[in-house]
Chain A
Amino acid sequence: MFADKSARGRIAVLATLASALALSACATTGGSGETASASASAKSDEKKFAATKAGDPVFASTYKPYPNVATAIRGATVYDGKGGTIQNGVVFMSGGKITAVGGPDTPIPADIAVFDGTGKFVTPGIIDIHSHLGDYPSPGVEAHSDGNEATSPTTPEVWAEHSVWPQDPGFSRALANGGVTALQILPGSANLMGGRSVTLKNVPARTMQGMKFPGAPYSMKMACGENPKRVYGARGRMPSTRMGNLAVNRETWLAAIDYANDPKAKRDLGKETLVGVLKGEILIQNHCYRADEMALVLDMAKEMGYKVAAFHHAVEAYKIGDLLRENDVCSAIWADWYGFKMESYDGILENAAFLQREGACVVIHSDDQNDIQRLNQEAAKAQAAGARVGIDIPDATVIQWLTYNAAKAMGIADMTGSLETGKMADVVLWNGDPLSVYSRPEKVWIDGALMFDAMNPKTRPVSDFELGQPGEGDVK
């Protein structure tokens, strides 16, 4: 099975990467202090060197909405992303924002572009909370393997955005086939603390900064379970067990708390990230499959004073839906991945439905360059599994799993993730029910700009890598 290959492939990549980088690890870790050394003995007439201060914005987004025209879609079934449905609805966007959403009588100006959505559906742009596009791009050769800084069990100092290759053809497939308008790129799960994530607008760009979602908070990736203990245990170093995982995590948090309380501490990139988490400025996205381990993480978070935004790959979340609801933690899950590793052995199709039954937050994620193209179908599978055991989840709620809930767990729900007046005009027009296998995105707007139109081949992005290659510009 592909899952088998995929899992093994990832393991192999980790192992190779780790051995390749081991030699240079001492040169690349512990990156502190290049800023402070110039100060103490410098004479007054000598140039002083200083980086920007901790917390100042760096690697700033240069993303700007692309030109748009005032546009309305009329006559479609509208899912607003927060559980609402409007039949024969109107979605009106102007100036890159949602201007109005309502029923058939919603007023729209006479001189704007109007699309007939009869028989079609409108949703907010789809959001994938868990992607490695750009960090594990296509082609997936070792030279492109930039998703795991697997040289130390904790690397909170690395930032996923510094690995993103904007030319990854996967971005355009996620746009055209999946209606994905925003996505969070996470470091991989080799490490207990894998580093910072970056949230991107899914627009083609020459630089990562050109995709960087303005105003999106950072998250930090953490990982439970098998991966960290395997990667580091295989090297005869800590952690090699789950108790080792927790011990290293707690020691690292305690050191960060000391750092936060020490006004004289030298800048430390890793600890800056951890302190950002403690302050609530940086969210935690925690790879964690097993119910018992999620409960341990929640206790650790209480001990250290931080909050988990979402457990990712939470295959066993259904066993503790009550606990997750009480802690206000989202579960970012697949519909049907199971059984490829020990901690995925208890995966069931009803996971999302059981969480929804408990009133816990559900997000459907991909962690996959192919599944990101069909998150709507994954959600439909999870919905159907619930219906078979008497848990009827409205279509509009299922769409919320892919839109508002994802945005909420990424800290961008005040800007996107639902069709509400004043929000970014990130919108998908589907050629049929988005929860049917037979439907596909027909048009996708990002900040009101039409970035994909199935009816117009020239609106299909072609990355630099694809130029001159077989199938360039094909519908793919």
Chain B
Amino acid sequence: MKRLLITAASVLALTATPAFAQDMVVTNARLVIGDGGAPIEGGVVIVDDGKVVFAGVPTPGQTFSTDTVIDAGGAWVTPGLFATVTTLGLADVSAVDESNDITARETPFSAALDAATAINPTSQHILVHKAAGITRAATSMVPAGSIFAGQGAIIDLDGDARPVMQARAFQMINLGEGGADRAGGSRAAAHVLLRSALREAQALVGKPGIPETTEIGKDDEVFLSRFDAEALVPVVTGKQKLYVAVERMADIRAVLALKTEYPKLDLVLVGATEGWLVASEIAAAGVPVIANGLNDLPETFEQLGATQSNAGRMAKAGVKVAINAESLQNPRRLQQVAGNLVALTRMPGASGMDWGKAFAAISSVPAEISGMGGKAGVLKPGALGDVVIWTGDPLEVGSVPTRVFIDGREQDLTNHQTRLRDRYIDLDESDRPKAYDW
């Protein structure tokens, strides 16, 4: 490809390497790096070979070469959003059982379940959320037959044949009311199940003095098979993250205490509605939180302390906080939640986040928590070339992407919803029925 020589920007004189993605530069951007900073006026992003090589304000007179120049015309330009935790790709219609791989109530397996094997990259939910500016996501099953959801994956949303960036990126368990219910009816049962499972996993890696059973079950129900125990080996050895869904202050403390018994656990809290009540303890433990963003109702007894200030208060205490997409009506509401966190900064007595930190809570921070720090949710040299150009302030309701790039490749934003929109842009059937309008 013939490269254009551009002045007024960058640091690089690019060599003509064969590009797997079209190289591009976005100029004249209201640029959001995604690292918590404020937007930068007159920003430039350069993507080469699918990776960001520069993002910021160029030094006047510098040159670089590229295939494509996109003048953003002052529009907001951001990294792609990172949605965690989601079920994207695991269901077409969740209420239609046949299309739903989110839960597996009837299986004898639990921790061994691997979401990566079930992901449909052309699910309409993936396509709709790509059009909403989400380019990467952590996706997980939901615990059904046991406290273990199974192993979640990090996916991209480009709809191609390889949606899974990292399979088995994390194990997820529920140690709150839901986990108690699934373990037999009490949190005590859930904790015994977890500990016995972790001990089984330790036994499999030869830790001495630990009994080995064949399986844990009751009546016809299997809580943990040998395959599940094997799947927990990377958890107990700290090679795979353990996401723990809990809401109540006491449950959060119990999760943090697991580290004294299993020091290698790489813990992440999910939900943590009452996290603000123990924010300093979470911060001291260095455990990040994927927090319910705006929940402010005692919808369960484990959420009595629910407040919209939860995320803001934890962040203020030094906790790394991402917003939990799973607690939303749909993940494309992440930007709305972040915007609401900004709104809270204007309310007496409430805690929110400034704009940059709120945006980071749906971009770089969830990426970091997911093990994609520096790669996703941020526009810094070396990061994946996920760039989104928006109609307006991306945290404002109603803002949507005008263009989305994943790995430096421009994405088709067409989906079932846009096709319906285009069909029903009028109701004219004077010549033919709507079915011919496509």
- Interface on A for B, CB 8 Å cutoff? 1-8, 11, 138-141, 169-170, 173, 177, 226, 318-322, 336-342, 345-350, 354, 358, 368-371, 373-374, 377, 380-381, 383-385, 387-389, 431, 435-440, 454-455, 457, 465-466, 469-471, 474-476
Beyond A140-B300, A342-B93, A438-B339, is A474–B307 a contact (Cβ under 8 Å)? yes
Q: Does B1 contact A (CB under 8 A)?
A: no
Complex CA distance for A388 and B420, rounded to whole angstroms:
15
Asked whether B326 lies within 8 Å of A341 as measured between CB atoms, the reply is: no
Minimum C-beta distance from A394 to chain B (A): 14
Beyond A177-B296, A437-B336, A437-B343, is A471–B93 a contact (Cβ under 8 Å)? no
Asked whether A2 lies within 8 Å of B298 as measured between CB atoms, the reply is: no
Residue of B nearest to A347 (CB): B417
Query: Which B residues lie within 8 Å of A320 (CB)?
Result: 427
Interface residues of B in 391-408 (CB under 8 A from A): 391, 395-400
Partner of A436, one of B350, B397, B421: B397
Beyond A454-B348, A471-B307, A475-B309, is A3–B330 a contact (Cβ under 8 Å)? yes
Q: Does B424 contact A (CB under 8 A)?
A: yes
Which of B94-102, B191-199, B208-216, B376-384 lies at the binding interface? B94-102
Interface residues of B in 297-355 (CB under 8 A from A): 297-301, 303-309, 325-333, 336, 339-340, 342-343, 346-350
Asked whether A1 lies within 8 Å of B328 as measured between CB atoms, the reply is: yes
Specify which of A2, A349, A469 lies most central, judged by the most chain B CB atoms within 10 Å of its CB.
A2
Residue of A nearest to B327 (CB): A2
Residue of A nearest to B274 (CB): A470
Residue of B nearest to A7 (CB): B95
Query: Which A residues lie within 8 Å of B94 (CB)?
Result: 1, 3-4, 7-8, 339-341
Asked whether A476 lies within 8 Å of B307 as measured between CB atoms, the reply is: yes
What interface size band does chain B fall in? 35 or more
Partner of A348, one of B96, B299, B391, B417: B417
Interface residues of B in 256-313 (CB under 8 A from A): 274, 277, 294-301, 303-309
Complex CA distance for A338 and B125, rounded to whole angstroms:
10
Residue of B nearest to A466 (CB): B298
Minimum C-beta distance from B197 to chain A (A): 24
Complex CA distance for A469 and B399, rounded to whole angstroms:
38
Asked whether B298 lies within 8 Å of A388 as measured between CB atoms, the reply is: no
Asked whether B397 lies within 8 Å of A431 as measured between CB atoms, the reply is: no
Beyond A139-B299, A377-B336, is A437–B304 a contact (Cβ under 8 Å)? no
Asked whether A336 lies within 8 Å of B295 as measured between CB atoms, the reply is: no
Query: Which A residues lie within 8 Å of B424 (CB)?
Result: 318-319, 348, 350, 354
Complex CA distance for A248 and B249, rounded to whole angstroms:
50
Given contacts A8-B95, A341-B93, A437-B397, 7 further A-B contacts (CB under 8 A): A139-B300, A139-B304, A320-B427, A341-B94, A384-B399, A438-B396, A471-B305
Beyond A1-B330, A5-B142, A437-B339, is A469–B304 a contact (Cβ under 8 Å)? yes
